[in-house]
Structure 1
Amino acid sequence: MILESITLRKGKITLLFSLFLLATSISCKEEKIKENHFEYNIITSDLDNFWMAFDALENSKDSVQTIQRMYIDKASPEFKKFLGLRDFTAEDYVGWIRSVPNFWKTVRPLTLAVKDKKNAIDGIYETMSKLYDGFRPPDICFAISPLQTGGTTEDRLILLGTEIVAVNPDAVDISNIHGFFKKVFENMTGDITALVAHELVHTHQPLGDNENSSLLSQAITEGSADFIGSLILGKLTLSQAIFEYGEEHEKELWAEFQADIKANKGFEETDWFYDYNSDRPADLGYYLGFKIAESYYNTSKDKKMAVKEILETQDEHSFLLKSNYGN
């Protein structure tokens, strides 16, 4: 779920990026896009439903029922999967809407602006199809979560909490946001393409399917998504803060990470992922997974085959060994 990007250092990896513009009108509802040999759906109707429900709260006598009736009950089939995965309730939405009104007011135009990103998203898909012959274009659903999740995947579907992924702290009032998301928002840029590329990779990875993922498996799954996402975009999908800290402390981070691997720790038993209480950047497991995937790619003679192998790996220990990282 790393959302920011910086330019990769020259010569580190080969970057491929091309955009294909569509000569089609933009719809605010579900739109089917077809480019050459593949097609997929971008669903944005849930954004419109949310903001209509939001506006209706001003004259509503029952806020919970208004959100339930005008937003949740009208959920697209894709958003229903999101609701099922995350168990969002109307009470959750109303609580956040009432507690941070300036956040919602300032983030609103940014959530609606994602409709203008369809050509860029199509370019991401087109580039991925050239990098990987097994590409299967997933649908994308842009919806609004109750400030709980930025992005996830379900089979061939990318689900995005647009009120999170579209945040640019220079344009959005986050003064009343605290804890986990305050730290996340402070380092965001509002560039949704990085998250789309990252989640697109996840829809093609078998390694991350195991709910009881090991620490190494989790790092390779997430880091590979950022590495291949960076190949697609020609810029990092990994957080700038994480990348810069990692580059400065790589050796000691790797030594610490190896010790946790040898202790056979699960990723939830460590602070490598989703720990926002530390003085150092959270999610440094993404950085080390990125470096492992980068090393695998750079030591491979056939780069297209390397992308395939990075995507399709199911044995994290063999993958680490073949990457030659840390040696």
Structure 2
Amino acid sequence: MDMRFWTWAVAGLLVLAGPARAAAPEIRIQDVIDFYRVYDAGGGAPSAAALQGYLDHGSDGLRQFVGLRHLSGESLAAAMEKHPRMFADAKTCLDVLPAVKRRLAQALPRLGQLYPPAQFPPITILVGQGNTGGTTSASGVLVGLEALCGASWMDPNPEDRFVHLVAHEYVHVQQPAARTEPEHPTLLFPTLIEGGAEFLAELISGDVGYVRLKNWAKGREKEIEIQFAADQDKTDLKAWLYNGVGTDERPGDLAYWVGYRIAKAYYVHAKDKRQAIARILTINADTAKAFLADSGWAPGMSLPEKVPLPE
């Protein structure tokens, strides 16, 4: 499985135009229902032709996903043949979707309350070929049920996992810098993009997407962050980002957690919390260094477990 499925820059990502509103976005699950109708009719091993029918008759979100991930009936059939258990197990996550929808209906409107320019494109939950848990496109936020359902390493609770991952991706929708990828970004910039999404996801939904990192890093803050500070200007990201699940000794994507801590430090120290949220969302490659300096972050610094929403 390609574990780089929470990318901070996705080809073709567009922030949708239109006025912000503090209303819950539409959450579409018909593609999942259609997939498992085809799955059941094929006895758990539908033909490539049947799967192509699922793709051809899918939602706008699914069609966007097909283009982003070069998905076809044949490639989906091959993925199902290679990982049958993943698709069988993913069916169990259908049970948590009603609760996920209710919780997101409460969490996501907070973005509009905190950041008036926020956009609210739909969320499409679909079934892909196991390589994308969450991403964004011109059709909004796209969630791969089969990949996210199997990502228990992120958070062992599937309901929480869906809620916090979607919140993370929804923050990316609001970040202009998430639409572009510098040719050779230094480690600091994508760290702040991902960490900002983690921090604001926690602020609106109650927790981060990468609960595993938060738990693993307790007591190791200074050691990890001294290493990060030494590497922040490097263009080789593989030790910190998009490097898979990792191991018990060093989990992957540790920069998400460091960036979360930097964003939280900035918010804690800011007098105007709403202005702080706006700045976190509008970081770019040119302003990353200044943001770090203004955050007051230092390796191993003490930060509160949770911070309140601004008044």
Band the TM-score falls in, shorter-chain normalisation: 0.7 to 0.9
* Partner of residue 42, structure 1: 27
Q: Deviations 1:282-317 (Å, cap 9, x if unpaired)? A: 111001000100000000011111111111122211
Structure 1 alignment gaps of length 5 or more:
4-34, 168-180
Aligned match of 2:235 in 250, 265, 271? 265
* Partner of residue 68, structure 2: 85
Aligned residue for 1:153, secondary structure, equals strand
Counterparts of residues 248-263 of structure 1 (less than 5 Å): 248-262=219-233
* Partner of residue 309, structure 1: 279
Identity within the alignment, %? 27
- Report the alpha carbon displacement of residue 186 of structure 1 after superposing the two structures with TM: 7.5
* Partner of residue 56, structure 2: 73
Aligned match of 1:126 in 109, 119, 126? 109
After the TM superposition, which segments of 4 or more aligned residues of structure 1 sit over 6 Å from their partners? Answer: none
CA distance in 2, matches of 1:292, 1:37: 27
Q: Relative to 1, partners in 2 of residues 1:79 and 1:144: Cα closer, same or farther, differing over 3 Å?
A: same
* Partner of residue 304, structure 2: none
Q: Would the aligned equivalents of 2:22 and 2:109 in 1 still touch at CA under 8 Å? A: no
Aligned residue for 2:43, secondary structure, equals helix
Aligned match of 1:217 in 171, 189, 194? 189
- Report the alpha carbon displacement of residue 119 of structure 1 after superposing the two structures with TM: 2.5
* Partner of residue 292, structure 2: 320
Aligned residue for 1:289, secondary structure, equals helix
* Partner of residue 37, structure 2: 52
CA distance in 2, matches of 1:231, 1:156: 25
CA distance in 1, matches of 2:102, 2:241: 35
* Partner of residue 13, structure 2: none
CA distance in 2, matches of 1:65, 1:194: 35
Relative to the length of structure 2, the TM-score reads: 0.80
Aligned match of 2:80 in 88, 97, 120? 97
* Partner of residue 30, structure 1: none
Q: Would the aligned equivalents of 1:223 and 1:287 in 2 still touch at CA under 8 Å? A: yes
Q: Deviations 1:251-309 (Å, cap 9, x if unpaired)? A: 221221122223x3242x43443243443111110010001000000000111111111
Amino acid at match of 1:132: Y
- Report the alpha carbon displacement of residue 223 of structure 1 after superposing the two structures with TM: 0.7
CA distance in 2, matches of 1:48, 1:123: 24
Matched, 1:274 2:243: yes
Aligned residue for 1:40, secondary structure, equals coil
Aligned residue for 1:160, secondary structure, equals strand
Aligned residue for 1:258, secondary structure, equals helix
Q: Would the aligned equivalents of 1:156 and 1:203 in 2 still touch at CA under 8 Å? A: no
* Partner of residue 302, structure 2: none
CA distance in 1, matches of 2:77, 2:95: 20
Aligned residue for 1:58, secondary structure, equals coil
Aligned match of 2:127 in 144, 167, 172? 144
- Report the alpha carbon displacement of residue 187 of structure 1 after superposing the two structures with TM: 4.6
Query: Which one is further off, 203-212 or 100-109?
Result: 100-109
Aligned residues: 276
Q: Would the aligned equivalents of 2:154 and 2:209 in 1 still touch at CA under 8 Å? A: no
Matched, 1:201 2:171: yes
Aligned residue for 2:26, secondary structure, equals strand
- Report the alpha carbon displacement of residue 322 of structure 1 after superposing the two structures with TM: 0.8
Q: Relative to 1, partners in 2 of residues 1:72 and 1:126: Cα closer, same or farther, differing over 3 Å?
A: same
Q: Would the aligned equivalents of 1:96 and 1:147 in 2 still touch at CA under 8 Å? A: yes
Amino acid at match of 1:188: P
Q: Relative to 1, partners in 2 of residues 1:308 and 1:186: Cα closer, same or farther, differing over 3 Å?
A: closer
Relative to the length of structure 1, the TM-score reads: 0.76
Q: Deviations 1:71-100 (Å, cap 9, x if unpaired)? A: 111121111111111112222322232344
